C-alpha cells in the first residue's frame, strides 16, 4: 500500500483531536519548566530549542538542574540519558505495533518525539498503530510543550522574582503528583522514595567531595538498580 497523507487524513485529524487535552497539560507544565530554564541561565530561545529536542519533563528538569549547578557536558548527557531511558522501552513496544509498511523516516520521527502520553494514546488504539494517528497527536502536543517552555522563560525574565518563585513550585507539584499515587499503592516505591530523599540530603553535605552532577547520577542509578534487582515487578502486578 502506498503511504500518502490523502489516504490517512481522517486518522491524522483524529490524532489531532486526541492530542488537544495533552497539549493543554503540556503547556501548563512546560510553562513552569521554562521559568526554571530562566533561573538556570538559559534564554527563551535556548529553552525553546531544549524542549523541541528533549520532549520529557523529567529529562529537562534534570538537565536544567545540572546546568544550574554548572555541571559538565558529560554529566548533563548522562543524567538526561538515565532520566529518559524509559523511552527506549516505549519505542521498542510501539515498534511491535506500528504498521509494517511504515517508512523508516516516519519511525525515526515518532521515536524522537515520543512521550509518555503520546505513547499511551497510540498504543491504546486497536490493531496496528497507524503512524498518521501518532503524527496527529504529535502535531498538537509537541508544539505546546516547546512553546510553553518558551513563554515560561519569557515570563521568567519579566515577572517579579516572588511571582517567578511561586510559578517554580508548580514543577515540584507535578513530580509530587507523579510520586504520591504510586507510593500510596506500593510500599516498595514508598520506601525507595523515602530512601532517595534521605540519601540526597546526606550527600548534600560537603563531606562528599564530588560534583552535584555525579552525586545525582550515582544516586539515580544505585537506587533504581536496587529496586529493580531486589523488588522486581512480577507478572500480573499493577500499580494502578
**According to the model, what pLDDT value does residue 134 have?**
93
Question: What is the pLDDT averaged over residues 155-174?
Answer: 65
Q: Which of 84, 26, 38 is nearest to 60 (CA)?
A: 84
List all residues 6 or more positions away from 173 whose beta carbon is below 8 Å from its beta carbon.
none
Three-class DSSP category at 210: coil
- pLDDT the model gives residue 95: 84
Residue 76: closest CA among 53, 100, 107: 53
pLDDT for 160 beyond 80: no
In whole angstroms, what is the distance from residue 149 CA to residue 74 CA?
A: 24
- The x, y and z cell numbers of residue 210, run together, are 564530588
pLDDT bin (cut points 50, 70, 90) of residue 161 is: low
Q: The cell 490523502 sits on which residue?
A: 6
Res 48: pLDDT: 93
Q: Is the pLDDT of residue 28 over 90?
A: no
Q: What is the mean pLDDT of residues 59-83?
A: 84
Residues of the chain above pLDDT 90, percent: 15
| Secondary structure class of 98 (helix, strand, coil) | strand
Q: Does residue 157 carry a pLDDT above 50?
A: yes
Binned at pLDDT 50, 70 and 90, residue 136 comes out as very high
Kindly tell me if the per-residue pLDDT of 219 is higher than 70. yes
Amino acid at each position: 500500500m502506498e503511504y500518502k497523507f490523502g489516504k490517512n487524513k481522517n486518522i491524522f485529524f483524529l490524532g489531532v483531536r486526541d492530542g488537544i487535552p495533552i497539549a493543554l497539560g503540556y503547556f501548563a507544565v512546560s510553562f513552569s519548566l521554562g521559568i526554571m530554564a530562566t533561573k538556570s541561565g538559559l534564554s527563551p530561545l535556548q529553552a525553546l530549542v531544549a524542549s523541541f529536542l528533549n520532549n520529557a519533563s523529567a529529562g529537562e528538569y534534570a538537565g536544567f538542574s545540572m546546568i544550574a549547578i554548572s555541571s559538565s557536558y558529560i554529566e548533563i548527557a548522562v543524567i538526561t540519558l538515565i532520566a529518559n531511558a524509559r523511552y527506549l522501552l516505549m519505542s521498542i513496544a510501539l515498534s511491535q505495533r506500528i504498521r509494517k509498511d511504515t517508512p523508516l523516516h516516519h519511525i525515526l520521527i515518532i521515536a524522537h518525539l515520543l512521550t509518555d502520553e503520546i505513547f499511551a494514546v497510540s498504543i491504546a488504539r486497536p490493531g496496528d498503530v497507524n503512524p498518521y494517528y501518532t503524527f496527529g497527536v504529535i502535531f498538537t502536543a509537541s508544539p505546546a510543550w516547546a512553546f510553553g517552555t518558551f513563554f515560561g522563560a519569557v515570563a521568567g525574565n519579566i515577572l517579579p522574582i516572588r511571582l517567578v518563585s511561586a510559578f517554580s513550585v508548580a514543577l515540584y507539584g507535578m513530580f509530587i503528583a507523579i510520586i504520591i499515587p504510586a507510593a500510596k499503592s506500593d510500599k516498595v516505591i514508598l520506601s525507595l522514595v523515602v530512601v532517595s530523599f534521605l540519601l540526597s540530603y546526606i550527600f548534600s553535605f560537603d563531606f562528599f567531595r564530588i560534583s552535584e552532577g555525579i552525586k545525582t547520577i550515582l544516586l539515580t542509578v544505585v537506587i533504581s538498580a536496587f529496586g529493580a534487582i531486589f523488588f522486581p515487578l512480577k507478572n500480573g502486578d499493577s500499580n494502578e
